[in-house]
Amino acid sequence: MAVITFSREAHSGTQDLARMLARRLGYRYVSRDELTHAVTARSGVERLPQTVESEGRALSIWEQLGEQLTGDREAYVAALKAVITDMAMADNVVIVGHGAGHFLRDLRTVVRVFVVAPIEERIARLLDEGVQDADRARRLIEKQDRESAEYLRYLFGIKWLDPHEWDLVINTGRVDIEAVLDMLVRYTERLIRDAAEHSDLSRMQIASRIEQRLLADDDLGIDKLRVRIEADVVVLEGEALAQEDRERAEATARALAREGVIDNRIVLRPPTSA
């Protein structure tokens, strides 16, 4: 089993490329919109992409501050991680948008593809789609690229155009698409998820489900909550207001992990009196 994720500059022909690859491989194709709706349903945080070509929903500074106060950012990220790991566990899949591959970057059977194209070709695509003016098309593209860059910086802290953040960068203005598809098919067919990587992904899935469940618990008083995997152990981290919160988090984790080993590193940080 393998996972291929695509991120892209706006109007670089990525969605068509991803759909064709999924068809050639016989993989499930997950569009950015399908992924958006799945995350919204799971988190309750509605963040519809601003345009059909942006990676995700970029937020203003005030919106970012608001999310930090409400905890919506953590809830959204946890739901996105949970949805993506569930998709990876369930099927061979091609996913477009939301920087999906960055949650799975340590897995050998995940390929993170970034697609670019010359600005002239991107403008031409928009003109073909009905935009009347080339200058307006250029401004739209630049705006969409800024939104995508800001979205990935906000969620993952990465520089969007840094090639080291991706496994493969494709310039659709310089390549033969059929040759690229042949290359991706040959490469993907060599990726076989072995038992060790399946176990790693399974533990990631459990950790993401625990984290999402804990963040959704309105009665749980834990700040800076994080659930991660360390070797074969599920590690809980954060700052609890009371011992009851610490114990509640551990009980939830044990119910979801079942036979897994839980290391509760949540510390007590009760509010200080004036």
CA dihedral of residues 68, 70, 73, 78 (deg, nearest 10): 130
Q: Which residue has the higher pLDDT, 243 or 62?
A: 243
pLDDT in tens, 121-178: 999 988 888 888 999 999 989 988 888 888 888 888 888 889 999 999 999 999 999 9
Banded pLDDT at 232 (limits 50, 70, 90): confident
Distance from C-alpha of 191 to C-alpha of 44, rounded to nearest angstrom: 35
Which ranges of the chain does DSSP label H, i.e. alpha helix? 14-25, 32-43, 61-70, 72-90, 119-128, 134-156, 177-189, 195-215, 243-257
Interval 166-188: pLDDT, tens = 999 999 999 999 999 999 999 99
Per-chain mean pLDDT for the chain: 85
Architecture of the domain whose range is 3-189: 3-Layer(aba) Sandwich (3.40)
- Pairing, β 233-240 against β 222-230: antiparallel
Residue 30: pLDDT band by 50, 70, 90 thresholds? very high
Q: How many CA atoms lie within 13 A of 265 on its CB side?
A: 14
CA distances from 155 to 87, 115, 180, 181 (A): 20, 20, 29, 30
pLDDT for 51-84, tens place per residue?
566 666 555 554 554 455 455 777 788 888 888 9
Which residues have a Cβ under 8 Å from the Cβ of 117 and sit 6 or more positions away?
9, 11, 12, 13, 171, 172, 173
Q: What is the pLDDT at residue 265?
A: 94
Find out whether 84 and 138 touch, Cβ atoms under 8 Å: no
Q: Are 115 and 191 in contact (CB under 8 A)?
A: no
DSSP state of 268: E
Non-local (6+) Cβ contacts of 200 within 8 A are 106, 107, 229
More confident residue, 16 or 270: 16
Query: Given pLDDT bands bounded at 50, 70 and 90, which one contains residue 50?
Result: low
User: Do residues 43 and 51 touch, judged by C-beta distance below 8 A?
Assistant: no
Domain borders along the chain are: 3-189, 217-268
DSSP 14-53: HHHHHHHHHHHHT-EEE-HHHHHHHHHHHHS-----SSTT
Spatial separation of the C-alpha atoms in residues 163 and 161, rounded to whole Å: 6
Name which of 97-101, 112-116, 161-165 the model is least confident about.
97-101
Q: Quick one: pLDDT band at residue 19, thresholds 50, 70, 90?
A: very high
pTM of the model: 0.81
On the question of pLDDT at 44 being above 90, the answer is no
Output DSSP code: residue 159: -
Q: To 10 degrees, what angle do helices 134-156 and 72-90 make?
A: 90
